[in-house]
Amino acid sequence: MEESLNYLKEQFHLGEIDIRTYSPLTLAYIGDAIYDLVIRTILVEMGNTQVNKLHKRASSFVKATAQSEMIKKIEGVFTQEEQTIYQRGKNSKPHTTAKNASLTEYKRATGFEAVMGYLYLTNQWERMIDLIKMGIDEGEMNGRK
């Protein structure tokens, strides 16, 4: 993945970024997308199934309440930098809220997404996958409907 991100930057003449200049909501914006892509990839690779079922399963992992639960499992293993990014994301002032989550759950989810965005943009793909794996056990992947 690191090579792919570098190739993307090369082809579109994107310069190196100072990740510290990005707002936590910007990190959460890309983090939401990359986390969704990881979950969808896992589900598709588990076998061909109806798109409606895939969507329902994916939604059960990417909704704010599920991300809030994941944070409880993985926050203790964050590096200092990840913890800082998480806190910045959690403490940011979002302009929207989730329709089926409390404000606390939504803020935790925003922090989680900010960490995912940070890891993606800093080419720490393996670390991102390791954290996701710690937050979701394989039984959950097979069992959620």
Is pLDDT above 90 for 98? no
pLDDT tens string 66-84:
999 999 999 999 999 999 9
Which amino acid belongs to residue 29?
Y
Q: Give me the pLDDT at residue 145, please.
A: 47
> In residues, how long is the chain?
145
Q: What is the helix, strand, coil percentage profile of the chain, to 5? A: 75, 0, 25
Query: Rounded CA gap, 23 and 144, in Å?
Result: 33
What average pLDDT does this structure show over 38-50? 93
CATH number listed for the domain at residues 21-143: 1.10.1520.10
Residues of the chain with pLDDT > 90, as a percent, come to 69
Is 18 a residue of the active site? Answer: no
Considering the candidates 32, 36, 130, 137, report the single residue annotated as catalytic.
Answer: 32
More confident residue, 67 or 137: 67
Q: What is the pTM of this model?
A: 0.90
How do the domains of the chain map onto residue ranges? 21-143
Q: Of 70, 79, 80, whose CA–CA distance to 127 is shortest?
A: 79
